[in-house]
């Protein structure tokens, strides 16, 4: 099982336990992050920690570490767990207090937990692409906070799983927002489009890397809201997330995207994305 971090200390994971009155457990009163690890090194760690602190600030939990402190703790955890390719999951909650919806008035120490998991790159799906469903976005209006409250996302993902699909593409009425655990991109006549990073979606770190890669490589990209009709008529569709990277979407609600094969702009972005990983984390094994 390896080691975990509980409130700043690295301990045996089997001993990392939280109280039944932890507000994360009872209310989902907390925020989380998932960081990719390649070759034992964290990818885009600064960006993830920045978003973690921002999510935490936005719900009034004061972050108990500096970025430097947390980075070195996480590095130590990776070494202790001998993690090569996988993820770090971490969350911070408001802490333990007698159950009451309003925030505790006394000083409560936030609960911080982190652990690692081996997760290989999804090599096969990156080549062949994945199938998706469509579902109405029923979530709250602060999707920019990476909150532990994931029921809307879970219900969407479950619906996809029941239909043998990898992801659920969510939409608010006619407007496509994002996947249940990913950001969604379309390509039409060479232009890449993705939902603007506002309160309706999570500002994905992978999305931001893609934005930078497009800018550097003269690939036209616009952050703009696009419709279900545009999604249906797109030349290419892909999703982006920490665990899935740049993942081609080849089918939406039983209908093929063009000829149902990963297409040129998506493939180019996959190639550039791998170069970015290798720049930060060293060469990836051929997969």
Rounded least distance, CB 7 to ligand PDD, Å: 22
x-or-dash string of contact with ligand PDD, 203-232, rule CB under 6 A: -xxxx-------------------------
Rounded least distance, CB 140 to ligand PDD, Å: 12
Are 28 and 147 within 8 A, CB to CB?
Answer: yes
Which of 241, 266, 269, 277 binds ligand PDD (CB under 6 A)? It is 241
Contact status: 29 vs ligand PDD (CB under 6 A): no
Residues 6+ away with beta carbon under 8 Å from 107 = none
- Say how far apart CA 169 and CA 226 lie, in whole Å: 13
Between 138 and 258, CB nearer to ligand PDD: 138
CA torsion, ordered 127, 128, 129, 131, to nearest 10 deg: -160
Contact status: 242 vs ligand PDD (CB under 6 A): yes
Catalytic residue among 9, 117, 131, 146: 146
Contact status: 270 vs ligand PDD (CB under 6 A): no
Active-site annotation holds for 146:
yes
Query: Which residues between 162 and 181 bind ligand PDD (CB under 6 A)?
Result: 178, 181
Read off the tokens for 136. Answer: 């109405």
Are 10 and 77 within 8 A, CB to CB?
Answer: yes
Alpha helical stretches, state H, the chain: 23-27, 45-58, 67-80, 123-128, 151-162, 205-216, 228-233, 264-281
Contact status: 202 vs ligand PDD (CB under 6 A): yes
- Say how far apart CA 215 and CA 270 lie, in whole Å: 15
Q: Is 165 exposed, middle or buried (0-12, 13-18, 19+ CB in 10 A)?
A: buried
Query: Which residues between 137 and 166 bind ligand PDD (CB under 6 A)?
Result: 153
Contact status: 34 vs ligand PDD (CB under 6 A): yes
Which amino acids are annotated catalytic? 146
User: Which positions lie near ligand PDD, rule CB under 6 A?
Assistant: 34, 153, 178, 181-183, 202, 204-207, 240-243
């Amino acid at each position: 099982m390896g080691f975990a971090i509980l409130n700043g200390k690295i301990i045996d994971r089997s001993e990392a336990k939280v109280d039944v009155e932890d507000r994360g457990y009872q209310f989902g009163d907390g925020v989380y992050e998932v960081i990719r690890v390649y070759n034992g090194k964290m990818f885009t760690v600064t960006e993830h920690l920045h978003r973690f602190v921002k999510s935490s600030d936005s719900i009034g939990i004061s972050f108990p570490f500096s970025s430097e402190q947390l980075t070195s703790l996480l590095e130590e955890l990776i070494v202790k767990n001998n993690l090569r390719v996988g993820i770090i999951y971490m969350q911070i909650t408001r802490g333990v207090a007698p159950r009451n919806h309003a925030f505790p008035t006394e000083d409560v120490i936030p609960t911080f937990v982190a652990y690692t998991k081996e997760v290989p790159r999804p090599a096969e799906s990156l080549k062949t692409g994945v199938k998706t469903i469509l579902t109405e976005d029923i979530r709250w209006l602060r999707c920019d906070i990476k909150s532990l409250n994931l029921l809307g996302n879970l219900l969407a993902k479950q619906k996809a799983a029941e239909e043998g699909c990898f992801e659920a593409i969510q939409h608010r009425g006619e407007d496509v927002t994002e996947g249940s655990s990913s950001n969604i991109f379309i390509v039409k006549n060479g232009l890449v489009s993705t939902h603007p990073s506002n309160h309706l979606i999570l500002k994905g770190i992978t999305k931001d890397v893609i934005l930078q890669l497009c800018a550097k490589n003269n690939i036209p990209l616009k952050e703009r809201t696009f419709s279900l009709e545009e999604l249906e008529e797109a030349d290419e569709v892909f999703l982006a997330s920490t665990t899935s990277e740049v993942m081609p979407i080849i089918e939406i609600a039983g209908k093929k995207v063009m000829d149902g094969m990963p297409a040129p702009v998506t493939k180019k972005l996959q190639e550039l994305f791998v170069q970015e990983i290798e720049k930060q984390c060293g060469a990836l094994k051929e997969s």
